[in-house]
Amino acid sequence: MSSIVLFGPPGAGKGTQAARITESTGLPQVSTGDMLRAAVKNGTKTGIAAKGYMDAGKLVPDSIIIDLIRDRVKEPDAVNGLMFDGFPRTINQAEALATITEVSHVIAIEVPDSKIVERICGRYSCASCGAVFHDVFNPTTVQGVCDECGSTDMKRRADDNEATVNQRLNAYHQQTSPLADWYDSKGIFHRIDGDRAIDEITGDILKSLN
């Protein structure tokens, strides 16, 4: 089992790229953010514990995240590895992951802070299939209709507002960005310029995975 990590600030395009490369890699996409939002929606113990942190734009405690991942890797589709999107976000999480699966590539999607707020504040997604869109940069072909599945049920995240984005960027710089050096020292870290067209970025990611 050998896994891939998509790394980068909030709004860098991790989810967008994960959806595009999952077919080529054959690895299922695992977004801890999506797992936590599902837990909040279902009112589980994990969701109740995580909600306050998420609403405030703070990282959810490592123990909660690591438990989620330990359970996820037991699913049958994880046998060949997973593609992690938004995990790990701290050195503790990365150390725990190293005991769970081998990581072959860490793909860092780099986008300057100055571009992040407009990315996040224009984001919406399909409530039915999860496809991610943007008001300006990546709108649906027909307004309000999902390109992937045809659903007209679109949603926006409660934490996708300017105040919370700034908190999330702080958390990224303080707690997550130190992981770049940690993975770089292992020789598996690949930097990709994420401030370009979505297709160009996908092409570069696929190249660095070869």
Contacts with ligand ADP by CB under 6 A lie at: 8, 10-16, 32-33, 36, 53-54, 57-60, 65, 86-87, 89, 93, 119, 122-123, 132-134, 137-138, 168, 198, 201
Q: Are 146 and 124 in contact (CB under 8 A)?
A: no
Task: Please pick, among 37, 72, 89, 119, the residue that the annotation labels catalytic.
Answer: 89
Choose which of 12, 131, 165, 169 interacts with Zn ion (CB under 5 A): 131
**Residue-by-residue DSSP string for 155-189:** E--TT-SHHHHHHHHHHIIIIITHHHHHHHTTT-E
Residue 70 known to be catalytic: no
Residue 123 known to be catalytic: yes
Residue 89 known to be catalytic: yes
Choose which of 22, 128, 140, 161 interacts with Zn ion (CB under 5 A): 128
Cα(158)–Cα(162) distance, integer angstroms: 11
Paired with 107 in beta bridges are: 6, 190
**Residue-by-residue DSSP string for 115-143:** HHHHHHHTEEEETTT--EEETTTB--SBT
Residue 168 known to be catalytic: yes
8 binds, among Zn ion, ligand ADP, none (CB under 5 to 8 A by kind): ligand ADP
Residue 207 known to be catalytic: no
Choose which of 92, 140, 151, 161 interacts with Zn ion (CB under 5 A): 151
Beta carbon nearer to Zn ion, 108 or 146: 146
38 makes contact with Zn ion (CB under 5 A): no
Q: Are 123 and 137 in contact (CB under 8 A)?
A: no
**What residues are annotated to the active site?**
14, 89, 123, 157, 168
